[in-house]
């Protein structure tokens, strides 16, 4: 009897290996290939622990054109005492497209008002933010807090000034 127990465990493990492997493979493919705004329900359930997809650390491809135009508009309108406050999803794009990365403050995944506080303490006169139009935000932030005013819009993206 004692020698049959390991055989039973090995038999069960061998039979369960294939279905479990397929489920894990399926979840991995969904995580890698799904757009973040259409993520599988499993990944949407834990947004503070796991991004909803592999591309949630950035801007959806459908908004890239609008983001590029907004960055171009901002480049033309930023003064020497101005600063761009960026969410983590936009930070890399701002560094890539703006000529001076000295005037960028990354507030990460926190509240944009944290970036405003940092900008004020650094002596900047105007704080700019690029974000989605109200109701279409990202990372659970559907709109910016009070105090931000939209000054330019292209598609679903807008440039906001604080103050």
pLDDT digits (tens, 9 = 90+) for 108-123: 888 899 999 999 999 9
Q: For strand 126-132 and strand 157-162, is the pairing parallel, antiparallel, or unpaired? A: antiparallel
DSSP code at position 99: S
Classify the phi-psi angles of 139: left when phi > 0, otherwise alpha if psi is within -120 to 50, otherwise beta.
left
What is the reported pLDDT for 43?
Answer: 64
Q: How far apart are CA 129 and CA 71, in angstroms?
A: 10
Query: Which pLDDT does position 141 carry in this prediction?
Result: 76
Model-wide pTM > 0.75 = no
Residue 85 and residue 115 in contact, taking contact as beta carbons nearer than 8 Å = yes
| Stretches in the chain below the pLDDT threshold 70 | 1-3, 35-40, 42-57, 139-140
Q: What is the pLDDT of residue 47?
A: 59
Closest CA to 122 of 105, 136, 106, 141: 105
HSE, CB side, 13 Å, CA atoms: give it for residue 116. 15
- 89 CB contacts (<8 Å, ≥6 apart)? 56, 57, 58, 59, 138, 139
Classified as helix, coil or strand, 108 is strand
pLDDT at 76: 93
* Whole-number pLDDT of residue 15: 75
């Amino acid at each position: 009897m004692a020698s049959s127990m390991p055989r039973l465990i090995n038999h069960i493990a061998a039979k369960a290996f294939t279905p479990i492997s397929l489920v894990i493979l399926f979840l991995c493919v969904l995580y890698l290939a799904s757009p973040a705004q259409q993520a599988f329900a499993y990944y949407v359930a834990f947004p503070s622990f796991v991004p909803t997809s592999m591309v949630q650390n950035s801007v959806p491809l459908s908004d890239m054109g609008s983001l590029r135009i907004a960055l171009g508009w901002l480049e033309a309108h930023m003064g020497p005492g101005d600063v761009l406050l960026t969410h983590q999803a936009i930070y890399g794009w701002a560094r890539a497209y703006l000529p001076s990365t000295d005037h960028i403050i990354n507030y990460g995944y926190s509240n944009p008002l944290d970036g405003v506080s940092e900008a004020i303490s650094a002596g900047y006169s105007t704080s700019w933010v690029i974000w989605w139009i109200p109701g279409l935000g990202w990372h659970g932030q559907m709109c910016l807090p009070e105090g931000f005013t939209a000054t330019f819009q292209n598609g679903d993206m807008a440039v906001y000034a604080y103050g």
